[in-house]
């Protein structure tokens, strides 16, 4: 029986949320299981703490690709950080004695998984994206099992064994209450657009929405707009707050917001795409150009190639957004995308993840 597990990784919400979902799957199987998170001291720390999991930090950071003096100096410390973080991971593993170490990607996963491999402890990688991240590409040949969140990643990973599991999504997204959200924010029974730029927001989505929101309201649409914490104060002074538009820095009651949405306009992070697939929500996906290996474009294509979403390049969003919304709502295309989403076969993610980890340990 699984009793002691380390889950490691981090750097973005796209890593920490599937990590917590996996932890909850294991807790559901055995409520007494001892799970330790090992990560860098980043944005994932308060999220892990909020979910009441114990946590140890190691001193590690990613490689900064943008060339400037500050990043060059940061990158010069990376060899020292690798040495120190391996030493820290070695002692964490020695003290905790896990039966399995699960990596979810991100630079924090590298030293911990490397030390687990060295000690012949069973190791698992869970890769969320259609194009795998650098850490997972480097470690995949050496771990015992790779769980694929997106089938397209299989072509780009050299590994001993891989299984398509899908991405574990938070279960409460299926429990949204449309009426509750509408009452809270004064929305009506009208076609509703949900704009998602992530917790930090997305400038391109915000600019396009700012330029077109009044036109959309006049056409009878409602807008739920998550603009991000760093953009909220500025946008609050620029947007004419009126009936039919909800401007929020971050949406706490996301399941309710999803329940209201007829169309989601979103970045194409792996977990966003997985939630849209599971909820069968039509979407316009706008891949971020500011991510490693352009992986969001690959995530978006995994739906768009099946006719289950529309993609718009980041630089064309402002000029194409209205056109695509009109196309979807007035040419019966929204229903066609809905039909394609309904035809997608989704794996039994929770059962596959639990079964494969149990097999590996036993």
Domain ranges in the chain are 4-166+347-361, 177-343
Q: What angle do CA 106, 112, 114 make, to 5 degrees?
A: 100
Residue 170 has a pLDDT of 81
Higher pLDDT among residues 78 and 164, named by residue: 164
Residue 259 has a pLDDT of 97
Residue 42 has a pLDDT of 73
The three-state DSSP-derived secondary structure of 161-217 is: CEEECCCCCCHHHHHCCHHHHHHHHCCCCCCEEEEECCCCCCHHHHHHHHHHHHHHH
Flag whether pLDDT at 123 surpasses 90.
yes
Flag whether pLDDT at 37 surpasses 80.
yes
What confidence tier does 10 reach under pLDDT thresholds 50, 70, 90? Answer: confident
Whole-prediction pTM value?
0.88
Please write the tens of the pLDDT for every residue from 277-292.
Answer: 999 999 999 999 887 7
Please write the tens of the pLDDT for every residue from 175-231.
Answer: 999 999 999 999 999 999 999 987 678 999 999 999 999 999 999 999 999 999 899
Q: Do domains 4-166+347-361 and 177-343 have the same CATH topology?
A: yes
Residue 89 has a pLDDT of 94
- Determine the distance from the C-alpha atom of residue 331 to the mean position of all C-alpha atoms in its chain, rounded to a whole number: 31
Q: What mean pLDDT value characterizes the chain?
A: 91
Residue 106 has a pLDDT of 86
Is residue 217 a contact partner of residue 223, using CB atoms and an 8 Å limit? yes
Residue 75 has a pLDDT of 62
Flag whether pLDDT at 77 surpasses 80.
no
Residue 241 has a pLDDT of 83
Mean per-residue pLDDT, 350-354:
96
The DSSP line for 82-141 is: HHHHHHHHHHHHHHH--SEEEE-SSTTHHHHHHHHHHTT--EEEEE-SSS--HHHHHHGG
Flag whether pLDDT at 67 surpasses 70.
no
Residue 63 has a pLDDT of 59
What confidence tier does 62 reach under pLDDT thresholds 50, 70, 90? Answer: low
Residue 45 has a pLDDT of 85
**Whats the size of the chain, residue-wise?**
362
Flag whether pLDDT at 13 surpasses 60.
no
SS3 332: coil
DSSP single-letter state for residue 59: -
Residue 65 has a pLDDT of 61
Higher pLDDT among residues 291 and 338, named by residue: 338
Nearest to 227 by CA among 202, 245, 252: 202
The stretches of 239-332 forming alpha helices (DSSP H) are 254-260, 270-279, 295-304, 317-330
Residue 291 has a pLDDT of 79
Nearest to 350 by CA among 140, 162, 171, 151: 171
Domain 4-166+347-361 has CATH 3.30.465.10: no
**Integer Cα distance of 73 and 200 in angstroms:** 25
Flag whether pLDDT at 115 surpasses 80.
yes
What confidence tier does 12 reach under pLDDT thresholds 50, 70, 90? Answer: low
SS3 71: helix
Residue 110 has a pLDDT of 92
The residues, any chain, with a CB within 8 Å of residue 102's CB and separated by 6 or more, are 5, 6, 7, 8, 19, 22, 123, 124, 125, 126, 357
Residue 40 has a pLDDT of 87
Mean per-residue pLDDT, 262-284:
95
Q: How far is CA 185 from CA 182, 220, 322, in A?
A: 5, 17, 24
Strand order in the sheet with 263-266: 245-248, 222-226, 192-196, 263-266, 283-285, 310-311
Percent of the chain scoring above 70 in pLDDT: 94
Higher pLDDT among residues 63 and 262, named by residue: 262
Specify the residue for token string 């820290």: 88
The DSSP line for 273-298 is: HHHHHHHT--EEE---TTSGGGHHHH
Please write the tens of the pLDDT for every residue from 151-167.
Answer: 999 988 999 999 999 99
Pick the CATH number of 177-343 from 3.30.300.30, 3.40.50.2000, 3.40.50.300, 3.20.20.70: 3.40.50.2000
Flag whether pLDDT at 66 surpasses 70.
no
């Amino acid at each position: 029986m699984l009793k002691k597990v380390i889950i490691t990784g981090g750097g973005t919400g796209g890593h920490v949320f599937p990590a917590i979902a996996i932890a909850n799957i294991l807790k559901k199987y055995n409520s007494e299981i001892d799970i330790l998170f090992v990560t860098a001291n980043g944005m994932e720390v308060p999220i892990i703490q909020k979910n009441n999991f114990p946590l140890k930090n190691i001193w590690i950071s990613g490689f900064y690709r943008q060339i400037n003096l500050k990043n060059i100096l940061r990158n010069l410390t990376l060899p020292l950080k690798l040495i120190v973080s391996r030493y820290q991971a070695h002692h964490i593993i020695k003290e905790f004695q896990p039966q399995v170490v699960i990596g979810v990607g991100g630079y924090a996963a590298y030293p911990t998984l490397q030390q687990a491999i060295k000690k012949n402890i069973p190791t698992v990688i869970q890769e969320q994206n259609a194009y795998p991240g650098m850490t997972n590409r480097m470690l995949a040949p050496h771990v015992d099992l790779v769980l694929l969140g997106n089938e397209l990643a299989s072509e780009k990973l050299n590994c001993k064994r891989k299984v398509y599991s899908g991405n574990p999504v938070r279960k409460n997204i299926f429990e949204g209450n449309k009426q509750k959200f509408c009452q809270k924010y004064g929305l009506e029974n009208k076609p509703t657009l949900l704009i998602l730029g992530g917790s930090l927001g997305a400038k391109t989505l915000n600019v396009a929405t700012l330029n077109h929101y009044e036109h959309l309201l006049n056409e009878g649409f409602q807008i739920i707009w998550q603009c991000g914490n760093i953009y909220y104060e500025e946008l609050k002074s620029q947007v004419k707050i009126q009936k039919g538009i909800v401007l929020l820095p971050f949406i706490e009651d996301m399941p309710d917001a999803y329940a209201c949405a007829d169309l989601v306009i979103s970045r194409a992070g792996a977990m966003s795409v997985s939630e849209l697939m599971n909820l069968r929500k039509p979407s316009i996906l706008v891949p971020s150009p500011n991510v490693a290996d352009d992986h969001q474009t690959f995530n978006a294509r995994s739906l768009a190639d099946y006719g289950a979403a529309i993609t718009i390049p980041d630089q064309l969003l402002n000029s194409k957004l209205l056109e695509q919304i009109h196309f979807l709502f007035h040419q019966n295309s929204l229903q066609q995308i809905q039909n394609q989403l309904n035809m997608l076969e989704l794996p039994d993610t929770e059962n596959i993840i639990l079964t494969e980890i149990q097999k590996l340990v036993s």
